[in-house]
Structure 1
Amino acid sequence: MTDAQPLHTWRHADEPHETGLNNRLNWLRAGVLGANDGIVSTAGIVMGVAGATTDRNAILVAGVAGLAAGALSMGAGEYVSVSTQRDSELALLAEERRELAEEPADELAELAALYVDRGLTEDLALQVAEQLTAYDALGAHAEVELGIDPDDITSPWNAAIASTLSFTLGALLPLLTITLVVADARIWVTVVSVLLALALTGWASARFGYGPTGRAVVRNVVGGAFAMAITYGVGSLLGTQV
C-alpha cells in the first residue's frame, strides 16, 4: 500500500471481500457435495446391479431410479436445512433490531465490550462502536455478536437448485459409463472414471473450504472405492442366489 493509496482500496488479491459471498459459498458447497453424492450413490447402485446381472436394461433402470430419487432427496434436504438456518438468522436479526430500538445505550456498551474482548483499548473500542453504530448499527452488531451479514442471508433455493443439478450431473457419469461401455470393460471403465471424478470433487471441496487438497482427494477416492467394492460384492452375492 502506498501513501497515496486510500485505505478502502487496499485489498489482498486472493481474499474475497465482496458482498454476497455467503450465498455464493453456500451454493458452491451444495454443488460440490451434490456432485460428489451423485457420483458415489449412483455408482454404488449401478455397480451393485452389475454385480448381480449383465442385463443393460436392468442396470439402466436402477441407475435412473437412483438418480431421480437422489436428486430430489438432495434438493429437498438442502432446502429444508438451509431454510432452517435462514429462519434462525432472521429471528436473531429481528431480536437485535428490537434491542437496538429499545436499549440503544446498553447495545452500544455491549458492542464496545466485544471490541475490548478482541484487543482494543476501552477508549478506542467505544469510538469504534459509536462510529459503526452511526453508520450501520444492525450490521455492526450482527457481525460481531452473531456472525451474520444482514445483507447476505443464505438462500434455500440457491442451495436446493445447486444440489439437485449437481447431483444429477454427478450421477450421469457412472450411469452413462456403465450402460454405454461394452460389457467386458464396463466395470473397470466405470471404476476408473468414478475415482477420477471423485478426485476432482475432493480437490474442489478442499479448495472452496481452504483446506489441504491432498487429504480431501484421498478420503474421497478411498470412500468411493470402498462403496463400489461393497455394493458390487453384495450384488454378486445376491445374483448367485437368485
Structure 2
Amino acid sequence: MSEPTHDEPHDDSLGNRLNWLRAAVLGANDGIVSTAGLVVGVAGATDDGAALLTAGLAGLLAGSMSMAAGEYVSVSTQRDSEKAALALERRELREQPEAELDELTDLLAERGLSHDVAREAAVQLTERDAFRAHARVELGIDPDRLTSPWQAAGASFLAFTTGALLPLLAIVLPPADVRLYVTVLSVLAALAFTGWWSARLGSAPVGRAMLRNVGGGALAMGVTYAAGSLLGAAGA
C-alpha cells in the first residue's frame, strides 16, 4: 500500500491562492499591453519625452483605477449575493430543519455516497455545524472566507500598475534613438514571461499561451504605432 505524500498540498485554500495568482498575472499582463500600446502609439506621432511620460502616466493611472473600480464593484456584487444566500440558508435551517437535513442527504448522495452513508454523514455534519455544512455543500461558499472587495481592488490596482511600469520606464529612460526598440523588446519579453506563468498556473500548454500573449501584444503595438504615425504625419 502506498504511503501518503506529505508534501502534496491538500489545503482547501490552494485553489483560491491559484486564482489570486492568475488574476495578478492577468492584471499585470493588461497593464503591460495597454500601456505599451499607448506609449508606442504616442511614440509614432512624436519623440518628445515629456509627451511620452505624460501619456504613459495617464494610461497607468486611468487603467489601474479602472481595474480597481471594476474589481471592487464586481466582488461587492458577488459578496452581496453570497451573503443573501447565506442569510436565506440560515432562515431555512431555523424554520425547516428536517427538510434541510433531507436536502443535505440528497446532495451528498449525488456525490456518490449510498443513501445510508449520506444520511449518516448529513446527520453528523448537521450536529457539528449545520450552517457551514449547507453553505459548503449546497452553496459552494465558505462563510469564513468571503472575498473582500477592497482586497480585490487593491490587488488589481497593484497588478496593473506593476505591469504598466515596464513599458512606461522603457519608453522614457533610454535615449531617444533606441527607446522604441527597447520598449518593444522589453514588452515582448515580459509578455512571453506572463504567458508562460499563466499557462503553468493553469496547467495549460505553455507554447500556445506564450505565442498568443506575444502575438497579441505585438499586434496592439503595431496598430497603435501605425495610427500614431499617421496622426503625426497629418498634423505635421
TM-score by length of 2: 0.92
Picking from 9, 29, 53, the partner of 1:15 is 9
Question: Secondary structure of 2:56's partner?
Answer: helix
Decide whether aligned partners of structure 1 residues 94 and 211 sit closer, same or farther in structure 2, where only a CA change above 3 A counts.
farther
- For 1:133 and 1:11, locate their aligned partners in 2 and report how far apart those are by CA, in whole Å: 31
- For 2:203 and 2:122, locate their aligned partners in 1 and report how far apart those are by CA, in whole Å: 31
Q: Return 5+ residue gaps in structure 2 as ranges.
A: none
Alignment of 1:90-105 (within 5 A): 90-105=83-98
- For 1:131 and 1:61, locate their aligned partners in 2 and report how far apart those are by CA, in whole Å: 63
Picking from 16, 38, 47, the partner of 2:40 is 47
- For 2:138 and 2:21, locate their aligned partners in 1 and report how far apart those are by CA, in whole Å: 26
Alignment of 1:150-229 (within 5 A): 150-229=143-222
Deviation of 1:20 after TM superposition, in Å, equals 8.3
Deviation of 1:16 after TM superposition, in Å, equals 4.3
Count the aligned residue pairs: 235
Question: Secondary structure of 2:138's partner?
Answer: helix
Match of 1:240 in 2: 233
Runs of 4+ deviating beyond 4 Å: 18-21
Instruction: Judge conservation of contact 1:45–1:66 (CA < 8 Å) in 2.
Output: yes
- For 1:102 and 1:12, locate their aligned partners in 2 and report how far apart those are by CA, in whole Å: 43
Q: Return 5+ residue gaps in structure 1 as ranges.
A: 4-9
AA of the residue aligned to 1:79: Y
- For 2:22 and 2:210, locate their aligned partners in 1 and report how far apart those are by CA, in whole Å: 16
AA of the residue aligned to 1:217: M
Deviation of 1:138 after TM superposition, in Å, equals 1.6
Q: Give me the identity figure in percent.
A: 64
Decide whether aligned partners of structure 1 residues 45 and 16 sit closer, same or farther in structure 2, where only a CA change above 3 A counts.
farther
Deviation of 1:2 after TM superposition, in Å, equals 7.5
Deviation of 1:171 after TM superposition, in Å, equals 0.7
Q: Deviations over 1:151-196 (max 9, x none)?
A: 1111111111111112111111001101111222211211111111
Decide whether aligned partners of structure 1 residues 147 and 229 sit closer, same or farther in structure 2, where only a CA change above 3 A counts.
same
Deviation of 1:208 after TM superposition, in Å, equals 3.2
Q: Deviations over 1:130-154 (max 9, x none)?
A: 1111122122212221111111111
- For 2:14 and 2:93, locate their aligned partners in 1 and report how far apart those are by CA, in whole Å: 24
- For 1:235 and 1:100, locate their aligned partners in 2 and report how far apart those are by CA, in whole Å: 62
TM-score by length of 1: 0.90
Task: Determine whether 1:63 maps to 2:88.
Answer: no
Question: Secondary structure of 1:160's partner?
Answer: helix
Match of 2:99 in 1: 106
